[in-house]
């Protein structure tokens, strides 16, 4: 769109004439009733033109006389009308006309750990961090997206949106030893986000008695819940997997390791 440019235009918008009567609606007139047809003048055109131009410029676009879809592009850019959900790493292609996006990212959950003696269970894995930002993507064609995997006997991976925002994965729990339970893993931190919520840390393994033990609770990412696993040392404890997105898995004994939950990246525009 562009302002009128046919050689008859002026460089400064004229002051509109004073209103005559009560504002209303256009008519084709009615000669029998003595009603004249409505005169559509320059003031009326200018008002409509500037209403449309203000929307386009307000969306951060530059007027372009060869583009007849700028108003639509401006409205799409000003209101969220789309969503991209990344459960694995990929590339976000910025839609035409979009100048800003809202990004939410969860890091992967850390893994709980085990022990070989069955009596002193490992600690739970920490929850992944959560970050949220509104990001200006004007003039950027595409942005890489990384989704952190949940850890298995290790930390969770980090999730990121280009270099703008990173939600780190939770760390793994500590392994139990013959005489001591494993420590809980710490929650993942966040960098570059306007809203940053670190993942919660996990708890250590617990020995209630010679017959009842508990693997450390896995930490939760934002919006999730921790998980736990309890049982008899003789029977062994199988870890509980982390709750998606970004939850850490619980600690366990023996070979019952479970993975932390994968991270997630959601983009809205």
Give me the mean pLDDT over the 258-269 stretch: 97
The confidence band for 196, taking pLDDT boundaries of 50, 70 and 90, is: very high
Q: Are residues 224 and 206 in the same domain?
A: yes
What's the pLDDT at 91?
98
Per-residue confidence (pLDDT) for residue 230, from 0 to 100? 77
Surface-to-core class of residue 15, CB atoms within 10 Å of its CB (0-12 exposed, 13-18 middle, 19+ buried)? exposed
Q: What is the pLDDT at residue 182?
A: 96
Q: Does residue 228 form part of some domain?
A: yes
Q: Which of 42-46, 104-108, 116-120, 216-220 has the lowest mean pLDDT?
A: 116-120
Q: Do 182 and 248 sit in the same domain of this protein?
A: yes
DSSP-based three-state secondary structure for 73: helix
In a domain, residue 28? The reply is: no
pLDDT digit string (tens) for 116-148? 887 899 999 999 999 999 999 999 999 999 999
Residue 101 pLDDT > 70? yes
Residue 163 has pLDDT above 90, yes or no: yes
Mean pLDDT of 28-51: 92
Rg over alpha carbons for the chain, rounded to the nearest Å, is 30
Residues 152 and 181 in one domain: yes
Handedness of CA 95, 221, 158, 89 (dihedral sign): negative
Report the DSSP beta bridge partners of residue 104: 132, 266
* Whether residue 88 sits in one domain with residue 58: no
Does residue 139 sit within a domain?
Answer: yes
Strand 206-207 and strand 130-136: pairing?
unpaired
> Is there a single domain that holds both residue 134 and residue 165?
yes
- Domain total of the chain: 2
Residue 162 lies in a domain: yes
* Predicted structure pTM score: 0.74
Same domain? For 56 and 136 the reply is no
Dist CA 178 CA 123 (whole Å): 14
Residue 30 lies in a domain: no
Tens-digit pLDDT profile for residues 3-15 = 999 999 999 999 9
Q: 105 lies in a domain?
A: yes
Task: List the domain range (segments joined by +) for residue 199.
Answer: 80-269
Query: What's the pLDDT score for residue 80?
Result: 63
User: Is the pLDDT higher at 235 or at 7?
Assistant: 7
Residue from 197, 198, 171, 199 nearest 185 by CA: 171
Instruction: Give me the pLDDT at residue 166, please.
Output: 98
Q: Tell me, yes or no, whether 242 lies in a domain.
A: yes
Tell me: do 50 and 94 sit in the same domain.
no
pLDDT tens figures, 42-59: 999 999 999 999 999 998
The answer to whether residues 156 and 147 touch, using CB atoms and an 8 Å cutoff, is no
Q: How much is the pLDDT for 74?
A: 87
Residue 164 CA to its chain's centroid (Å): 12
């Amino acid at each position: 769109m562009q302002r009128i440019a046919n050689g008859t235009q002026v460089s400064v918008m004229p002051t509109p004439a004073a209103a005559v009567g009560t504002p209303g609606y256009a008519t084709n007139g009615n000669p029998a009733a003595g009603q004249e047809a409505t005169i559509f003048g320059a003031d009326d055109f200018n008002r409509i033109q500037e209403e449309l131009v203000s929307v386009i410029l307000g969306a951060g676009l530059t007027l372009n006389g060869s583009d007849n879809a700028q108003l639509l592009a401006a409205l799409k850019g000003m209101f969220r009308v789309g969503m991209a959900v990344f459960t694995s790493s990929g590339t976000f292609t910025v839609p035409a006309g979009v100048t800003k996006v809202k990004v939410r990212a969860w890091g992967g959950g850390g893994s709980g750990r085990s022990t070989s003696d069955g009596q002193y269970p490992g600690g739970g894995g920490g929850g992944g961090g959560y970050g949220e930002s509104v990001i200006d993507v004007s003039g950027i064609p595409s942005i890489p997206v990384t989704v952190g995997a949940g850890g298995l006997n290790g930390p969770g991976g980090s999730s990121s949106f280009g270099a703008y925002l990173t939600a780190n994965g939770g760390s793994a729990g500590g392994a139990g030893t013959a005489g001591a339970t494993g420590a809980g893993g710490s929650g993942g931190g966040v960098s570059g986000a306007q809203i940053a919520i670190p993942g919660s840390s996990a708890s250590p393994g617990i020995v209630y008695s010679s017959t009842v033990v508990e693997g450390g609770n896995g930490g939760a990412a934002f919006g999730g819940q921790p998980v736990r696993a309890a049982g008899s040392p003789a029977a062994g404890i199988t870890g509980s997997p982390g709750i998606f997105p970004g939850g850490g898995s619980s600690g366990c004994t023996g070979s019952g390791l479970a993975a932390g939950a994968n991270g997630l990246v959601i983009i809205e525009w």
